[in-house]
Amino acid sequence: MEPMAILSIFVLAVFVGFEVVSKVSSTLHTPLMSGANAIHGVILVGAIIVADHSHTNLELGLSLAAIVLATINMVGGFVVTDRMLEMFKGKKKGADQ
């Protein structure tokens, strides 16, 4: 990829990241952190790609370890976030700030 294209994607993503969470009540800090935590679990995609590219047993072993860890991060992260947010349901009145 073009370095300039990558830089553009990076800078724009930084601004989007800043914008979407700039006003959050402290009530939601924990679920938000947990949800963001689950999102970086997509490193699983990277782990699968390097497992496919692996030539040696060492490379394969390390990339399989990465897949296990990334799966725990991603799936566990979304499940635990959902459990937290489940607690807030059914209290729609007053729940919106």
Q: Which of residues 10-69 bind another protein (CB under 8 A)?
A: 10, 13-18, 20-56, 58-60, 62-69
Give the shortest CB-25-to-another protein separation in angstroms. 7
* Cα maximum dimension of the chain: 58
Helix (H) or strand (E) holding 40: none
CB atoms within 10 A of CB 85: 13
Count of H-run helices and E-run strands, the chain: 5, 0
User: Cβ of residue 71: shortest distance to another protein, in angstroms?
Assistant: 3
Q: What angle do CA 48, 32, 80 make, to 5 degrees?
A: 60
Closest separation in Å from C-beta 97 to another protein: 7
Q: Does 1 bind another protein (CB under 8 A)?
A: yes
